[in-house]
Structures are given as structure tokens and as C-alpha cells.
A and B are shown apart, each in its own frame.
Chain A
Amino acid sequence: MLASLPDSAWDRTKAGQLIQRAAFGGTPQEIDQLAGMKPGEAADFILGPEKPEALTPPPNVLKPGLTEQQRFLRKKLRLLPPKERESKGSELGRAVRAEQDRRLTEIRGWWLDRMAQPAMAAREKLVLFLHGHFATSAEKVRNPIMLFRQNQLFREKAYGRWHDLVLAVAKDPAMLIYLDGSKNRAGAPNENFARELFELFTLGVGNYTEQDIQESARAFAGWTVGWPRKPGEPEDQENTPPEFIDRKNWHDIKSKKIFGKRGSFDGEDVVRIALSQPAAPRWITRKLWRFYTGWFPEEPLQTELAEEWTRLEGRMGLFLRAMWTHPAFYDPQHAEDRVKSPTEWLVGLCRQLGTPLPAPALASNMLAELGQKLLEPPNVKGWDGGITWINTSTLSKRYEYTSWVVSGTRGMQKLAGMDLGRLAIESGLREIPAPMIMDPAAVPVAGTTEISKKDEKLQAARKARTLLALSPAPVEKLVEPGDRQNPDRLLARLSERFLFGLTIPEDIRRKLLEGFPAVSPLTDAAIRKLVLGLTQSPFYQVT
């Protein structure tokens, strides 16, 4: 059994740390509530139920792959002479990608919205971990519904057994496409998935051989994707998403030697054998500990964590609870070692301010600029996390976006770094431009179409600027009556919310309050300035 925190050691600071690390942060009221519980109760409260509640998927994700207009244009395309068909075809391809991007944006917004809901936050935090762990990118997979289904798979299996999740991921269509498993068949093995399964998903470098990879790849042969079809109808690859199929005639039934065992293994055997390696519990617990605390466990903690994982038979929910109630989870030495990911930063800031998240297109582009484009991790290793979130460019942008969220963007001529044209399309404020495919007989009217197209673009960009603009955060909710008359009290109130009740030293306090009117009461603008002083800081980036 892992050591656990005695009730007497539980306090408000730890409660604040827990809600920030395990979920997406909270308000002083939520922290008070947690602080009033016992540590185990607080962990259970944050975790929520074993299974997620039924959910409503984002509305457009389940629609057929092509829009009606795009399908219509596709038919027309076939009538064109070959050369024109090619150029119009690639125009149509861009339109299809734009539609996919729009749906991906919708999924991102839907997901962010769940993260911001207290009852769902811890599960969604784990889904975010799993998304980085089993990194799969829309850049290769493209099809939004496959990525949505994978995301939902994480959510449903999040608190269950690790083995079940790994096996489900090995059969997940998005993963099969991302790591080329769908092309893996007897006689033509593709090693990509087997390699990453061992290197990144279950064991880590040094705990398998090249032979283990090669022979395991053969064992996975035949796990591929296919399109369901009704009897007598052809496959409809454009409008239905592919599903997992086990193609028996692709199996490699010959004997394989994997981790010293010989047999006619299949994919399920490989997952089972890999997870029974001694390195397996160490690998996943190490990554989980680092994700939630910001530091890598050293001995003897690492061994204790691995043993606890084995004892709990890899049940994630139980392990998280054990981790969150472990004294080392709150080690003061590491109280400032964990850098907030962009997603955690944005959701947390909005939660603490009590302000709504930016619109999906804006929010997801902000996160992309900060280095975390959801559903498009940079590579199969996911995001490296920790201080790699921070560099001169991303930190400056965090500060800039902090001011957008706190002070609003109204009146700004442009949103620096944001492509308003793309935002307009991604948020549905502008139609996706479709290629003009005309009847060869029709005579185009010179000039007019180009001009109106340009005009329309510009209007859409202006519309995006207006409709996506952020309002100043409603700071009146952050303060109590009387705070405005007393700058000291106001600063204490705000730092409690944003910096966990830290008492600010006198010299710093004076500097923060410098230049504020001696005559009360303090205006909303003055309050926002103080909030910015606290949040546009290196300190606010760590937990």
C-alpha cells in the first residue's frame, strides 16, 4: 500500500494544489469545500463516478464526411476535361479540408467546455493525458469522427483497467491509420505501431529488442480498418467512417518469439505479454506521476508507485486516488515545479475569473499558438510537457492572451497572430469557399466574381473580429463589498484566488499597488490591472 496523507496534514494549500493538478483549478469557494473534507474524500470528490455520464456529441461531427454541396461538386467534377478536373479537384480538396478543420474546431470547443465544468474536470484532465500518451494527429488521420471516437474511448475507459484501454487503442481506427497498422499484413509487416507500443505506450526504450518489434508487428497483422456496408451496396468511404476489422486472411499464423516466449501469438497476446513485463508498471506510473506533479519519481518512490499499480491491477481511477493522497504528491520541494500546459492555463484562468472560455475557433487557435493544438500533437510522442511549454515566444504569447482574457479584446484592430479569415471559416461565420465549376457553355462575367469574393472575405474577417471578441472579465464577482475601498484587502482577495492565498511581502505589495489612486473606490479597470499583475507572471505558470 502506498503511504497516504494523514487527515491532520490536509489544508487549504493542498486542496488548492489538488484541484489545480488533478483538475483545471477552481474558485476559492471550491477550494474551501475540498479543504473541509478528508484527503481521500477530496480525491474521490474530484474523481467523480467510475463511468462518465451520457453525453451529447458535438452536433456536426457525426454528419457525413462531405457536405451536400461538396458531394454535388464532386459529381460535376467528373464532367470536366482532365486538366481542369485536376485543378478544380484540388480546390475541392481544400474545401473538404476546411470542412474537416471546422469540425475539428467544434470537437476542441466541445472538449474544452467539458474541462471547464467542475464535475467533469478530473476525467477530462486524464483524457488530456491519454491524448498526449496515445498521441494521434488529425494531420494524418484527417477524419474528425475517428478522432472524436478515440477521444470518447479515452473518456469511457479512463478510470478502468489499463490493459483494456491499451487493447482498445490497438484496435482504434484512428490509431490504426496514424501508425500504419491498417496496412500491416502477413508478408508485408509494418513495424510502426509495434515500435511505438513498446517505446512510448507501455515500456520505454531499453525494455524490448528490435526482434520483439519485428515479431510483434507480425502478430498484429490483419488488425486493420474497413468500411461497413449494407448487403448489396458498395462501400461508402466518403460518408461513413472506417471501423476496426480483423482481417483473417492477413494474419501471420507462423510462430513468433516475443519477450523470450514463443508461440503463434496474435495482437491480444502481444498486449498481454508487453503489459506483464516488469518495465510496464514503472513506465505508466512514471508518466502519470510526472504529468500530475511535474517531476519524475525517484527511488524508492518509483518502485512504490509501480507496486501499487500492480496491486491495483492497473485500475487507473484507484491509482489516481492513491497518488493524490500520497504525501509526496504535495512535496513542498516541488511545489513550483509543475508548469501548466496551455490548455490547463486557459481553462484554469477562465475558471478562476468566472469568465466564459473564448469561442472554440479562437480558443483552439490560441492553444495552438501556445504549443498545444488539441487533436494535432506534434508527433507520436505527444507533448513533452514541463518546461518545454515555455520559451521566449510562447511565454510572451501567454502574457498577451492573459490580457485578452482579463481585459477583453474589444476595440482592438486585430488579434495579433490570429488569422481572422481562418477564424471566420472555422467558426462558421463564413461559408467554406467552393470551387466554381461552371457549365462549359456559360459565359463568365469578367471581374465581378473576384471583387465580390474579396469583399466577402473582408467582411467575414471583420465579423469574426467583432463576434469572437472577448469581453472584459466580470471582475465585480471577484471582490467582496468593501474591497474596493481598501486596496490592501483587495490585493489579498485577488492573490488568494490566483495565487492560493499567498501573503505578499510588504515591498512587493507596495509596488503592486503603486500608482493606484489614493482616493477610493477602486474601479474595475484598477482591479483588472491588479489581476494582470498577478497572472502575467512566471509564478502564475506553475502549480
Chain B
Amino acid sequence: MHSSPELKTRREFLRTGLLGGSLCWTLPAFLSRTMESLHAQADGSLVQGVTGKDGNILVVLQLAGGNDGLNTVIPVGNDNYIKARPKIAIRDKSALLLDPKIGLHPALTGLYGAFQEGHLAVVQAVGYPNPNRSHFRSTEIWATATDENQSSTTGWIGRYFDNACQGCDATVGIALAGQTPQAFAAAMPKGVLYQGGWSGAGKKRREEASLQLEADGSMMSEDDDGDGPSGGSIGEIAGSGNKGKMSSLDFLERTDMDAKVSQQEIAKAASRAKNLVQYPGSRLGQNFASVARLIAGGMPTRVYYISQGGYDTHVDQAGAHERLLREMGDAVASFLGDLKAQGNLGRVSLMTFSEFGRRLKENASGGTDHGAAAPLFLAGGAVHAGLHGKMPSLAKKDLNDGDVQFNVDFRSVYATVLEKHLGVKSTPILGRSFPILGAYG
């Protein structure tokens, strides 16, 4: 029995890998590089040394569930829009005007402020050909940046790590989420999870709460700020894993090591800096506060990933969507203000995305069903503020099966961010070249 092949594999593993225990054994060879780079930084030079373009940071905000683009960036006074949405259309007077015919949802005062300060770009009608209306498939398409009829085991951010950050340690990507995002999947997996602000368990609680039993009792559940907006059947959508071609055991070994070396560094960086502005108490707000601290604390991280769920508004959309947008806009506004106060606004860009927009026509339950193209936001000190792309036509002849058609391929947005903000060539990452938008510089 002891010579059977599975035992041999297990034994090999044991020899190199049974390190997780309280007993510290030798390091697996493939991880030593990580350790070396950490040791090299142990003198306190963890603060990102690189400057200029190389030092730029991308923050990705996923609006999970399919954000209703038409009620986010509103075609003000458009007859087709108002007729199709007798219950939930945002009326002209309340929209926050970006130009005479286009306005933000009235709850997006936070983003509107950023727009007025010149820190917000709106890319309109973003999507891809043959839109898929499944949450999971469409999320996967956005994560892997493939055509609708293709698949990939790696994500676009993971390919960025593979291409541009070889030899970086795992903290080159940090996700504040319950699961590693599929966009991080890479041939050489990188990226760690951090749940500093809020627990990943989905309950609402501040980090201080669970730490201080003797505090004022703020850990009690009735002090929660209420349940978040209705999640519908779609809360968080993550991906199908991040192990590339590794076996499950290799992946575990690696994660084991990443966890040991990264969590402490992250906690240290987070405690090194303070937030310079007030953030909303929502989970999203606290996650943005954590990212701002990590940036100020000097983490060498290039991509942060945050997710906000609840956008699958099939039923009674108006109130829920308003709460979601307010939570989002307020959190982003605090984040931008904090970065500005830190002096980091110029090197940080925020990009939002959602797997799809929603139908033009509202449904019988006061909600909207899965649609296609939708706008997204780019925010930060370096963006070329204003409207990019065109507001899509809502005339019946221009719709695709009742849905808004896309004008800008989402991979054009990725290409623009990669080339103009992160300063790398986009073709090796996206597989082919996509037009660069004028959203930067």
C-alpha cells in the first residue's frame, strides 16, 4: 500500500509542503523569490519606490448584478426613455446635469462633485457584440476580456500581472472581497484578499467592533446600519478560481505562504496611515477607506478590487437602486477626497463596471430585467473629465431585442487604462488591439 502512486504524491507533498502548521519547516523553492523580495523590503522601503507611470494604481469597482445604466446616466428628456419607464424613469428636473441632455441619478451627488472638480469621466454605452444576459457568463466575459463565444482560464488583470509584474510579490493585487475575483486569475497566480474593513461573511460590522469587547457595545447587532439594499438573487459574484495550471495542492501551498507573508504586511501598511476624510459607514465606504490607507501606507499594490452587490433589480427598483447609487457615489467621493488630501489623486484611477445594463422597458414588477450595454465611470486626478462615447439611441430601430446597443467595446476601456494609466502595452494582455479612448491626459 505504501508504494501506491497516490501515497507517493502525498509523500512528495509532505516533504515540501506541510508547512502550514504551527511548526515551521523549510520553504518550498518556488516561494523563495517572494520571500527574498519581502526581505529586500524589510528595511522599511516598502513604500512604493517607483514613480510616474510605473507607480500608478488602478482601483476596480464591480457593481455586481447588472447596474441599470439608463437610470445611472440618464438621457434627460428622452421620450423613448420616459415612455418605456412610466414608474421608474428619473424625471428631468431631478437629474444632475452633465450636459443639457445627460444627467446623473440624483443620488449620485458624490460623483457629481467629482465631475465638477474635473475628476470624473463617463464612458457611455460600453458593452460587447452578442451580449450574454447571464450574470455569470457575462461577468466571466468582462473578467477574462474574451469574445462572447470564447473562454479563457486567465483574467485580464491576471494577464497584466503575468506580463508586467513578474517577480512582484502576491500583494501586487488586493481584493477586498469574499473571493478572489476571476479577473485576477493568472498563469502565475497573484493577488491576495484583505478583509480589513468588513468581514467577508456578509454581515455588517466595523472592524473595531469585534476587536473591543470592552468598548461601548458597538459590536451589538442592533447597531448595524440596517441590512444593505436588497440583494435580489445576486449578491457578490466572484469567479471560478485563480489557480491557473496548478494543482489544488500547489495552489493551497502557495496560498498558505502568501497568507503568512502578506497579511502582516498589509495590516502594517494599513495601520501606518490614517484616513484624512470621513467615510460612510457602509461596507463599501469602509472598503474604500481601507484601500486609501493601504495606498497611503505604501503598499506596492497596482490593482485593488472592490465589489458592491445588489444591482439585480428585477423588483421594486426605484428605492433599492437609489440606495445603492448613493452608497456608491458617497463612498467614491470620500475616497477621491482622501486621495487628494494624501497627494495621491494623480496616480490613482478608479474604474467601475457591471456585467450588463438593463432593459430599456421596465417590467411589471417596477423593476428591470437583464439588458446589454451601459455606461461606466473612470475617476481620478489623471482622467480627462467629461463624457466619452455617445449616448446610445433609444429609438426602437436602434435597439437590439429591446436593449441598448454598445458603442464602445469594454476592452477599449481596458486597453485605455492599461496603456494610458498603468503604462503597459495592451495587446499582449487583451489578445489584440482595441481603440484607445481619450479618457486620459
**A residues lining the B interface (CB < 8 Å):** 11-13, 90, 94-95, 97-98, 101, 137, 139-140, 178-180, 183, 185, 187-188, 190-192, 195-196, 199, 205, 210, 294, 332-333, 335-339, 365, 368-369, 371, 373, 376, 378-381, 384, 386-388, 390-396, 399, 403, 413-414, 416-422, 425, 433, 453-454, 457-458, 461-462, 465, 499, 501-505, 507-508, 511-512, 514, 529, 532-542
Interface pair A139/B231, CB less than 8 Å apart: yes
Total A-B contacts with CB atoms under 8 angstroms apart:
280
Q: Are B180 and A542 interface neighbours, CB within 8 A?
A: no
B193 within 8 A of A: yes
Chain A interface main SS type? helix
- Contact: A502 with B7, CB < 8 Å? yes
Q: How far is the CB of A333 from chain B (nearest CB, A)?
A: 8
B255 touches A539 (CB 8 A): no
By the criterion CB–CB under 8 Å, are B9 and A94 in contact? Answer: no
CB pair A392 B248 closer than 8 Å: no
Kindly state the separation between the CA atoms of A307 and B277 in the bound complex, as whole angstroms. 62
* Contact B211–A373 (Cβ < 8 Å): no
Which residues of chain A are within 8 angstroms of B25 by Cβ–Cβ distance? 508, 511
List of A residues within 8 angstroms of B365 by Cβ: 180, 183, 188, 190
Question: Which residues on the B side are within 8 Å of A539 (C-beta)?
Answer: 10, 13-14, 17-18, 20, 249, 252
Contacts of A391 in B (CB 8 A): 179-180, 192-193, 242, 255
A140 contacts across to B, CB distance below 8 A: 230-233
User: What is the bound-complex CA distance between A365 and B132, given in angstroms?
Assistant: 36
Report the Cα distance A533→B253, complex, angstroms. Answer: 15
Cβ of A337 and Cβ of B221 under 8 Å apart? no
Within 8 A of A (CB), among B251-294: 251-253, 255-256, 258-260, 262-263
- The answer to whether A379 touches B22 (Cβ under 8 A) is no
Report if B21 contacts A (CB, 8 A). yes
Query: Nearest 6 pairs between A and B by C-beta?
Result: A188-B364, A538-B252, A368-B201, A421-B220, A335-B6, A332-B6
User: Are B238 and A384 in contact, with the CB atoms below 8 A?
Assistant: yes
- Shortest beta-carbon distance, B355 to chain A, in Å? 12
- CB < 8 Å: which of A336, A394, A453 contacts B10? A336
Cβ of B11 under 8 Å from chain A: yes
- Are A392 and B1 closer than 8 Å at their CB atoms? no
Q: Is the CB of A388 within 8 A of B240?
A: yes
Q: Contact between A392 and B193 (Cβ–Cβ < 8 Å)?
A: yes
Instruction: Judge whether B136 and A381 touch: CB under 8 Å.
Output: yes
The contact sample of 25 A-B pairs, CB cut-off 8 A, is A13-B1, A139-B227, A139-B235, A140-B232, A188-B365, A192-B369, A205-B132, A205-B137, A371-B200, A387-B242, A391-B179, A392-B259, A392-B263, A393-B192, A417-B210, A419-B205, A419-B209, A454-B217, A511-B23, A511-B25, A532-B21, A533-B18, A534-B18, A539-B14, A540-B20
Nearest Cβ in chain A — how far from B407, in angstroms?
22
Cα–Cα, bound, A514→B24 (Å) = 11
> Which residues on the B side are within 8 Å of A507 (C-beta)?
15
Q: Given A380-B234, A388-B238, A13 and B6 touching (CB < 8 A)?
A: yes
Q: Quick one: which of B18, B226, B239, B262 contacts A392, CB cutoff 8 A? A: B262
Distance in angstroms from B68 CB to nearest chain A CB is 16
Pick from B7, B132, B202: contact of A368, CB under 8 Å? B202
**Complex contact A337–B247 (CB within 8 A):** yes
Tell me whether A461 and B18 are in contact in the complex, defined as CB-CB below 8 angstroms, given that A188-B364, A505-B11 are known contacts. no
Q: Which residues of B contact A190 (CB under 8 A)?
A: 314, 363-365
B401 within 8 A of A: yes
Q: How far is the CA of A347 from the CA of B221 in the complex (A)?
A: 27
Identity of the chain A residue whose Cβ is nearest the Cβ of B206 in the assembled complex: A419
| A378 and B180 form a contact (CB under 8 A) | no
Q: Are A379 and B236 in contact (CB under 8 A)?
A: yes
**A191 to chain B: which residues have CB within 8 Å?**
369
Residue among A90, A101, A433, A457 with the highest chain B CB neighbour number at 10 A: A457
Nearest CB in chain B to that of A136: its residue = B233
What is the chain A residue whose CB lies nearest that of B180? Answer: A391
In contact, B6 and A210 (Cβ under 8 angstroms): no
Residues from chain B with a CB closer than 8 A to the CB of A378 are 178-179, 202, 235-238
B93 interface residue (CB < 8 Å to A): no
| Contact, CB under 8 Å: B135 / A379 | yes
Assess whether B168 is interfacial by the CB under 8 Å rule: no
Residues on A with C-beta less than 8 A from B234 are 379-380
B24 → chain A, closest Cβ, in Å? 9
Task: Report if B99 contacts A (CB, 8 A).
Answer: no
- Give B69-118 interface residues, CB cut-off 8 Å to A: none
Q: A178-B233, A387-B242 are in contact. Are A392 and B258 (CB under 8 A)?
A: yes
CB distance from A380 to the nearest CB of B (A): 4
Bound-complex Cα distance A461 to B211 (A): 12
Which residues of chain A come closer than 8 Å to B205, judged between CB atoms?
Answer: 419, 422
In the bound complex, CA of A541 to CA of B221 (Å): 32
By a CB distance below 8 angstroms, the chain B residues around A365 are: 201
Residue from B4, B239, B241, B256 in contact with A395 in the complex, judged by beta carbons closer than 8 Å: B256
Q: A139-B231, A532-B21 are in contact. Are A388 and B241 (CB under 8 A)?
A: yes
Contact between chains at B9 and A384 (CB < 8 Å): no
Cβ of B19 under 8 Å from chain A: yes
A393-B193, A419-B203 known; 19 new pairs, CB 8 Å cut-off, are A140-B231, A190-B314, A192-B369, A369-B199, A369-B200, A373-B202, A388-B239, A391-B193, A392-B192, A419-B219, A422-B203, A457-B220, A461-B217, A508-B18, A529-B22, A533-B22, A534-B21, A539-B14, A542-B252
B247 surroundings in chain A (CB, below 8 A):
336-337
Report chain B residues within 8 Å CB of A336.
6, 9-10, 13, 247-249
**B38 lies within 8 A of chain A by Cβ:** no
Q: Which residues of A contact B262 (CB under 8 A)?
A: 392
The verdict on B195 contacting chain A, using a C-beta distance below 8 Å, is yes
Contact A98 B221 (CB under 8 A): yes
Decide: A373 and B242 in contact? CB cutoff 8 A.
Answer: no
Instruction: Name the A residues within 8 Å of B369 (CB-CB).
Output: 191-192
Bound form: Cα–Cα A465–B23 in Å: 28
Which residues of chain A are within 8 angstroms of B251 by Cβ–Cβ distance? 387, 390
- State whether the Cβ of B243 lies closer than 8 Å to any Cβ in chain A: yes
Tell me how far the C-beta of B158 lies from the nearest C-beta in chain A, rounded to whole angstroms. 14
